Amino acid sequence: MHVSENIRYIGVNDHDIDLFEGQYIVPNGMAYNSYLILDGKTCVMDTVDSRFCDEWMAKLQEQLADRPLDYLVVQHMEPDHSGSVAKLLAAYPQTTVVASAKAFTMMNQFFGEEYADRRIVAAEGSTLDLGSHTLTFVTAPMVHWPEVLVTYESSEKVLFSADAFGKFGALDAEEDWACEARRYYFGIVGKYGAQAQALLKKAAGLDIQTICPLHGPVLKEDLGYYIGKYQLWTTYTPEDEGVTVAYASIYGHTAAAAQLLAEELEKLGVKVALHDLARCDQAETVEDAFRYPKLVLAASTYNNDVFPFMKTFIHHLTERNYQSRTVALIENGTWAPNAAKVMRGMLEGCKNLTVLEDVVTIRSAMNAENREAIAKLAQQLA
C-alpha cells in the first residue's frame, strides 16, 4: 500500500457509507487517502473523515514510531479530508499546519481555530523543505472548492492531486477505475471543467511518475491513460461512440417508445445506454450522457410541464455545463403535449449543443406513425 519507502499510505476504507456527499450511491464504499512523508522532517498530507480518526491516527503513530510530526499539509477542506485536522493538531501541539489562506478561514468556520501561532500560508509556487524531499504547492481553485492546493514532490516525482484523479469505491474493492472515476468526476467536479483543465496545464510542465489522489488508488502505471481520460472529461469531449437514451414515463407508453428506439439503434450497430430515470442511479445516467456524443430525452408531459424525474435529470446536466453534444427529444401527452418545449427551454443555455428540430410526439400510446418516426430518428442518430 505504501507509495515508496519514504512515502507511506495511511488512509482508510469506509464500508459503512451508503451515500457519499449525501447523494452518490457507493456500493463499494469510499477510500479517504492520507500520506506520511518520512524525511529529515515528517509531514502528513491531509487527514480523513472524523468517523475514522482513531483508526487513522493509530496508523500514523505506527508509521511515525517515536518521531515527532513536524508538518500537516491540508490541501482540501471538505470534511471527508479535513475532519480529523483539529484532533490531530490537539494530539501533536508542535505540528505546523500548512494550507492556503482560504483553507485557514474554513478551519475557523469548522473548528473555531485558525492556528495563527503554528501555521504556514501556502501560495502558488511556494515550497516546503523536508530534507531530501521538497514540496511545491500549486493552487487549484474550484477543483472543486476555492481553497484547494495540489502538491508536487520533486525528488520522487509525486503529484498529490487532492480530489483530482479520484474515484468512488474503497481500495479493497475490485472494480473498473474508469467507470467509477468518470461518475465521480462528472458528479462532483464536472461543473468546473475549465478550472480542472487549467490544473492539467500546470501539471503538464511537471515530470510526474506517481499520482496520489485523495480518493481511489495510487496511480503509477500508464499515467498517460489516466491523464488522457481527464483531458477528455475536463474539455467535455465525448469519450466513446454511442447514444444515451434517458426516459421518464408514467404509465409505460413513453418507456415503450424509448425501448423501441434503443432496439432500432442496436439493429444499426449503435451502442445504447438506456436509463429509466425513475428507477436508475441518475449519477450513472449523467456519466453516460457525458461519455457519449448523443443523448435522447423521452418524457411525458406533467402539469403542463415535464415529468419531475426528467426535470431533475436535465438540471443535473445543465449545472455541470453539459455541452458539445447532439440531443433528440421524444414527448408524450394525451391532450396537450408540452414536454419537448420545456426540455428544449431547459437546455437553451448549454454551449455547442445541437437539439434536433424534429420531435417525436406521442399522444397517449404509440401508433404506426410514431413507430416510423422513431425508426427515422434511429437512422438520423446512427
Within this chain, do residues 50 and 26 fall inside the same structural domain, yes or no?
Answer: yes
Q: Is the peptide bond before 144 cis (omega within 30 degrees of 0)?
A: yes
Within this chain, do residues 190 and 60 fall inside the same structural domain, yes or no?
Answer: yes
320 Cβ partners below 8 Å, 6+ apart?
186, 187, 190, 191, 286, 290
Within this chain, do residues 145 and 89 fall inside the same structural domain, yes or no?
Answer: yes
**Other residues' Cβ atoms within 10 Å of the Cβ of residue 361:** 17
Within this chain, do residues 229 and 267 fall inside the same structural domain, yes or no?
Answer: no
Q: Check residue 120 and give its pLDDT.
A: 98
Within this chain, do residues 182 and 58 fall inside the same structural domain, yes or no?
Answer: yes
Within this chain, do residues 218 and 291 fall inside the same structural domain, yes or no?
Answer: no
Within this chain, do residues 281 and 189 fall inside the same structural domain, yes or no?
Answer: no
Query: How far is residue 364's CA from residue 370's CA, in Å, rounded to a whole number?
Result: 11
Are 240 and 292 a contacting pair, CB within 8 Å? Answer: yes
Domain presence at residue 2: no
Q: Check residue 179 and give its pLDDT.
A: 95
Query: Pick from 204, 234, 264: which residue ends a domain?
Result: 234
Within this chain, do residues 67 and 27 fall inside the same structural domain, yes or no?
Answer: yes
Q: Check residue 202 and give its pLDDT.
A: 93
Are 257 and 362 a contacting pair, CB within 8 Å? Answer: yes
Torsion angle of the four alpha carbons 344, 346, 348, 352, in this order, in degrees rounded to the nearest 10: -90
Query: How far is residue 382's CA from residue 379's CA, in Å, rounded to a whole number?
Result: 5
Q: Check residue 35 and give its pLDDT.
A: 98
Are 24 and 187 a contacting pair, CB within 8 Å? Answer: yes
Within this chain, do residues 103 and 226 fall inside the same structural domain, yes or no?
Answer: yes
Query: Pick from 189, 217, 234: which residue ends a domain?
Result: 234
204 Cβ partners below 8 Å, 6+ apart?
none
Domain presence at residue 1: no
Are 148 and 138 a contacting pair, CB within 8 Å? Answer: no
94: closest CA among 136, 41, 137?
Answer: 41
Query: Pick from 217, 234, 251: which residue ends a domain?
Result: 234
Q: Check residue 76 and give its pLDDT.
A: 97
Domain presence at residue 218: yes
Domain presence at residue 370: yes
Domain presence at residue 121: yes
Q: Check residue 164 and give its pLDDT.
A: 96
Within this chain, do residues 207 and 90 fall inside the same structural domain, yes or no?
Answer: yes
Q: Is 185 helix (H, G, I), strand (E, B) or coil?
A: helix
DSSP string across 195-223: HHHHHHHHHTTS--SEEE-SSS--B-S-H
Amino acid at 123: A
List the CATH number of the domain containing 204.
Answer: 3.60.15.10
Query: How far is residue 173's CA from residue 185's CA, in Å, rounded to a whole number?
Result: 19
Q: How big is the CA angle at 192 (ends 186 and 194), to the nearest 5 degrees?
A: 120
Q: Check residue 85 and give its pLDDT.
A: 98
For cell 469531449, the residue is 237
Rg of the chain over Cα atoms, rounded to whole angstroms, equals 24
Task: Give pLDDT < 50 ranges for the chain.
Answer: none
Domain presence at residue 251: yes
Are 165 and 219 a contacting pair, CB within 8 Å? Answer: yes
pTM, two decimal places? 0.94
Within this chain, do residues 219 and 320 fall inside the same structural domain, yes or no?
Answer: no
Residues comprising the chain, all counted: 382
Domain residues for the domain of 303 are 243-381
Q: How many domains does the chain have?
A: 2
Domain presence at residue 359: yes
Q: What pLDDT digit, counting tens, does each position of 288-313 carry? A: 999 999 999 999 999 999 999 999 99
Left if phi > 0, otherwise alpha if psi is -120 to 50, otherwise beta: which for 22? left
251 Cβ partners below 8 Å, 6+ apart?
none
Within this chain, do residues 263 and 223 fall inside the same structural domain, yes or no?
Answer: no
List the CATH number of the domain containing 333.
Answer: 3.40.50.360
Domain presence at residue 366: yes
Are 166 and 183 a contacting pair, CB within 8 Å? Answer: no
